[in-house]
């Protein structure tokens, strides 16, 4: 509940013995005050109006207009007051511009999100679409399960959202993921609509915490490669056999993303040469789902062995190579996500089978390829290009744990 009324602040007079006229806002029992242009003596303040005061008619009209503005803002935000702080309510009143509001878009985050997510899915960028969707759902949940105009997502809103997220036990990196998605959403809105949001990220810096290292060393890959798995013994063994093949194929092809592995079809193997029914050379051509970067990779000996294990020679050109599959529908995307999670669990099972105390996911495989490349003297620029990174900073994040490890080894060498 919020209310606003005029007061004369009689705590401190100015040099003329006058006191400042203010609007007092009481939001959920917590008061805030906004100073107005005029001051007067106690004797001139009668019934929330000035009396016996120069140009009193004009001054009272100004005071009435300012109070009306405050009450308009309160009324406009009636359905979301419970999720707002007193400071945010005060800021909304201070920034209210009735003329400017006429020229500003009132599009909500949910409505713009529907447009943006549909476009992103049509471009087959489903991971990005899910990222946007998760961020929008989090914003609406914080706002009391109510949609919110993008104009109202300012730096104060974001700071309160962060405090609520952390206060509920969330972590900084999780919130950072929401904020990076929100920043992208608002940037894209600004590119199409004038004055559609207050863009909080000029004043708010997205925070992050260092996480545990995600890469594994080459000996881990070798240990999993050397596992003896009898695929014909049981369906469980067959699933483990597939998981190892997927892990090694992704690693052999520059840390390929699991979704791109699932989408691979025979016609993406180009310049192929066969001896009898065995593939003996060729190139892999594919477009990375995340950023539409095109890749052309020479097939390694291990990649050739794996493709032959899946009878590549006998497959139709438009047939999926691996029995994962992908359907670009809501049900199909859900099924794919479930399969990815199951195989991430399988990758960890493979590590346990090899007596390795490490966590492996498709994401770790990608980081591992980058770190191992760095350890073999490949430059950051080549690694970044190989992974399809547009920003060198992304490559640096991939290699940070490796470089810290090198420094640790150097320190041990010195102090030991």
Supply the pLDDT for residue 74. Answer: 86
pTM of the predicted model as reported, rounded to 2 decimal places = 0.60
pLDDT, tens digit (0-9, with 9 covering 90-100), for 211-235: 555 788 899 999 999 999 988 878 8
Mean pLDDT of 377-394: 72
* pLDDT reported for residue 102: 44
Q: Measured at the alpha carbon of residue 158, what is the angle toward residues 154 and 160, in degrees to the nearest 5?
A: 120
CATH of the domain spanning 218-399? 1.10.443.10
Residue percentage of the chain with pLDDT more than 70: 89
Cβ contacts of 224 within 8 Å, gap of 6 or more: 244, 247, 248, 350, 351, 354, 356, 360
Query: pLDDT tens-digit profile of 120-163?
Result: 888 888 888 999 999 999 999 998 888 888 888 888 899 999 99
Neighbours of 66 (CB within 10 A): 20
What's the confidence (pLDDT) of residue 306? 96
Is the pLDDT reported for residue 284 higher than 70? Answer: yes
* Section 87-108 average pLDDT: 69
Both tokens assigned to 265: 């079809």
How far apart CA 308 and CA 295 sit, in angstroms, is: 21
What pLDDT is attached to residue 326?
A: 87
- The H or E element spanning position 281 is strand 278-287
Q: What is the pLDDT of residue 390?
A: 64
Query: CA 180, CA 158: separation in Å to the nearest integer?
Result: 12
What is the model's pLDDT at position 104? 47
Between residues 377 and 274, the one the model is more confident about: 274
Tens of pLDDT, residue by residue over 63-82, are 998 999 899 888 887 777 77
pLDDT value at 255 more than 50: yes
Q: What is the pLDDT of residue 404?
A: 55
262 within 8 A of 339, measured Cβ to Cβ: yes
Average pLDDT over residues 298-305: 94
For residue 414, pLDDT over 50 is answered with no
Single out the residue of 148, 144, 140 nearest to residue 178, CA to CA. 140
Query: How far is Cα 292 from Cα 282, in angstroms, rounded to an integer?
Result: 22
The whole-chain average pLDDT of the chain stands at 85
> DSSP string spanning 111-179?
HHHHHHHHHHHHTT-HHHHHHHHHHHHHHHHHTTS---BGGG--HHHHHHHHHHHHHTT--HHHHHHHH
Q: Concatenated DSSP letters for 49-74? A: EE-S-TTHHHHHHHHHHHHHHHHHHH
d(CA 402, CA 370): 9
């Amino acid at each position: 509940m919020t209310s606003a009324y005029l007061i004369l602040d009689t705590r401190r007079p100015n040099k003329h013995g006058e006191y400042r006229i203010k609007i007092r806002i009481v939001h959920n029992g917590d008061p805030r005050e906004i100073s107005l242009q005029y001051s007067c003596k106690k004797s001139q303040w009668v019934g929330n109006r000035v009396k016996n005061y120069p140009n009193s008619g004009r001054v009272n009209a100004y005071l009435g207009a300012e109070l009306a503005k405050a009450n308009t803002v309160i009324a406009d935000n009636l359905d979301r007051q419970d999720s707002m702080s007193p400071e945010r309510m005060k800021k909304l009143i201070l920034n209210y511009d009735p003329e400017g509001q006429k020229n500003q878009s009132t599009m909500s985050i949910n409505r713009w999100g529907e447009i943006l997510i549909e476009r992103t899915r049509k471009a087959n960028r489903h991971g990005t679409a899910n990222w946007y969707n998760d961020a929008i759902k989090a914003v609406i949940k914080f706002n009391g399960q109510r949609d919110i105009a993008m104009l109202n997502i300012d730096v104060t809103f974001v700071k309160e959202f962060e405090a609520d997220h952390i206060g509920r036990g969330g972590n900084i990196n999780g919130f950072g993921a929401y904020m990076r998605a929100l920043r992208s959403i608002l940037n894209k809105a600004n590119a199409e609509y004038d004055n559609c949001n207050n863009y909080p990220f000029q004043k708010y810096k997205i925070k992050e915490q260092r996480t545990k290292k995600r890469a594994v060393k080459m000996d881990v890959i070798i240990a999993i490669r050397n596992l003896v798995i009898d695929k014909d013994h049981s369906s469980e063994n067959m699933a483990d056999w597939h998981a190892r093949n997927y892990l090694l194929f992704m690693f052999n092809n520059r840390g390929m993303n699991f979704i791109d592995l699932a989408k691979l079809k025979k016609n993406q193997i180009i310049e192929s040469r066969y001896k009898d029914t065995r593939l003996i050379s060729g190139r892999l051509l594919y477009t990375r789902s995340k950023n539409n970067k095109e890749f052309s990779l020479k097939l390694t000996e291990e990649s050739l062995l794996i493709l032959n294990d899946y009878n590549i020679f006998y497959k139709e050109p438009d047939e999926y190579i691996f029995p994962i599959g992908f359907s670009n529908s809501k049900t199909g995307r859900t099924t794919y996500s479930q399969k990815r999670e199951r195989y991430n669990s399988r990758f960890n099972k493979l590590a346990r089978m090899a007596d390795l105390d490490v966590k492996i996911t498709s994401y770790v495989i990608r980081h591992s390829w980058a770190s191992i490349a760095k350890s073999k003297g490949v430059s950051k620029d080549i690694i970044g290009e190989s992974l399809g990174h547009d920003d060198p900073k992304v490559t640096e994040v991939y290699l940070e744990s490796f470089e810290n490890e090198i420094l640790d080894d150097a320190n041990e060498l010195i102090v030991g």
